[in-house]
Structures are given as structure tokens and as C-alpha cells.
Structure 1
Amino acid sequence: MKITKKEIEATSKLEAAARYQYFIKKVADTEKMYSLVDEGGDWAIACFGEKTLFSVWSAPEFAEACAVSEWKGFSVREFNIDVFESDIFNEIDTHDHLINVFSVKGRSGFIVDYNEFARDLSDELSKNTE
């Protein structure tokens, strides 16, 4: 489902914690999330201090807007929750990455570890089944 320009602008103006909540709700509804990959299929990784961040967004439009600067030429990759848990989690865990949820215009998003991310998403998913 394509999002409107108005929604992109409004959501992008939110503080990182509010964008995180928006992301969790959207991903729980669609069971899809997005990241960026380079031509070789390597994920877009950011640095925050000494930590490495795996970046995710709730819609391809948000991810695409971040394909600039060091991520210029990267393309959007969609994946569902199952792929995230079975494949991408191993990458995050193996390399001790944190998750950068919903960065915008060169600003980092809400930075969270996998356990907190998984708990918050699981809690939101359970609301959808009630």
C-alpha cells in the first residue's frame, strides 16, 4: 500500500521515539519491513559511536528517501517478519548490531537492540490477534 506525500512529511517530522511507535504499528499490520542493499546485496549499515546499526523502515518510500550520501545507489529490499527472524536476525546477532528504526534525512532513528525490538513487535502483533 503506497503512502501519501502528506503522511511521509508528517511522519518524517516526528521525534525518533514516535517514529518507532509508528513503525511497530505499521509492521504489525503489514508484517513487512524494508531496508536498503547495495549492488552486491549487502545491507545498509550505519555507525553510531562504536556500534553498528542495521537500518529498517515501515514503507519503501521512507527507505528510498534515505538512499542518499553513503547509501546513494542502494535499492530498497522488502522482507517479512519471518525472513527477519530467520535470516536477518542472524546477521544482527553475529555482528552485534543494533537496529536503527526509521532514520530520516541523515538523522538516526530510534536505536534499539534486537530483544527490545522483538518484544515490542510481538506485543503489537498480539494486539492484532485479540
Structure 2
Amino acid sequence: MKITNKEIEAVSQLEAFQRYEYFIKRVADSERMYTLVDDNGNFAIADVESSAVLSVWFASEFAENNAVDEWGSFSVKEITVEEFEEDIIDMIEKNNWLINVFSIKGKSGFVVNINEFAKDLSAEM
């Protein structure tokens, strides 16, 4: 689903928790989210306050906008909610990662643990 420049500008102005709430609603509607991966399919993992985090966005355009600097060679990967539940949750738990929801221009988004994330997404769906 393509988003407009107007939506990109409006959503980018929201505070981190508001972006998180918006993300949850949009992912519940589309049943898709996006992240960044390298050429080998490894996720782009950032360090936020000494925690490893997996960054996710509700639209590929936002993910593309964050494929800069150390992630400049990374590409956007679409993840269905089903794939997230079946494959990625276990990986997140195994690696003790947090989820960085909707970072913008190198600034952290709303960082949440997998249990809270799954609970919020499930409640919205």
C-alpha cells in the first residue's frame, strides 16, 4: 500500500508513542510490516540504550527512508503478521531483542518488548 507525501509528513511529526499507536492500527489493517535486511537476509539490528532492537515500520516508504548511513546497503523486507508470529517472534525472544517501532531519521521510535508488542497488536486485530 502506497502512502502519500502528506501522510509521511503528518505521521513523521507525531511523538514516538503516537507513531507506535498509528503503526499498530495500520499493521492490524494491512497485516503487514516492514524492516531492513542485508544481502544475506540478516535483520538490521540497532543498539538503543544498550539493548539490541529490531526496527519495524508500517509502510515500505518509511523503511526506505531509514536505509541510510550504516544501513545504506540494506533493503526493505515485507513481513506478514503470520510470518512474524510463526518465525520472527521466536528469533526476537531467543536473541533477547526489543522492537523499535517506527524510528525516523535515525532517531529511535517507541521501544517495546515482544510481549507488549504482541498483546497490543493482537488486541487491535
Deviation at 1:90, TM superposition (A): 1.4
- Structure 2: any 5+ residue segments left out of the alignment? none
Taking the aligned partners of 1:64 and 1:50, their CA distance within structure 2 comes to 25
Are 1:19 and 2:19 matched, yes or no? Answer: yes
Q: Tell me which stretches of 4 or more aligned residues in structure 1 moved more than 3 Å.
A: none
Partner of 1:92, secondary structure, is helix
Residue identity in the other structure for 1:28: A
What is the CA deviation profile of residues 99-127 of structure 1, one whole-angstrom value per residue up to 9, with x for unaligned ones? 000000010000000000001001100xx
Residue identity in the other structure for 2:60: P
Taking the aligned partners of 2:50 and 2:3, their CA distance within structure 1 comes to 34
Residue identity in the other structure for 1:113: N
Taking the aligned partners of 1:103 and 1:43, their CA distance within structure 2 comes to 15
Q: Which residue of 1 aligns with 2:120?
A: 120
Deviation at 1:49, TM superposition (A): 2.1
TM (normalized to structure 1)?
0.94
Alignment of 1:38-77 (within 5 A): 38-77=38-77
Q: Which residue of 2 aligns with 1:109?
A: 109
Taking the aligned partners of 1:28 and 1:92, their CA distance within structure 2 comes to 20
Partner of 1:55, secondary structure, is strand
Taking the aligned partners of 1:12 and 1:49, their CA distance within structure 2 comes to 22
- Structure 1: any 5+ residue segments left out of the alignment? 126-130
Are 1:93 and 2:69 matched, yes or no? Answer: no
Taking the aligned partners of 1:79 and 1:67, their CA distance within structure 2 comes to 17
Taking the aligned partners of 2:49 and 2:13, their CA distance within structure 1 comes to 24
What is the CA deviation profile of residues 51-88 of structure 1, one whole-angstrom value per residue up to 9, with x for unaligned ones? 10011000000000000011001100001111001111
Deviation at 1:45, TM superposition (A): 0.5
Taking the aligned partners of 1:90 and 1:55, their CA distance within structure 2 comes to 16
Partner of 2:116, secondary structure, is helix
Aligned-CA RMSD value: 0.6
Taking the aligned partners of 2:12 and 2:46, their CA distance within structure 1 comes to 19
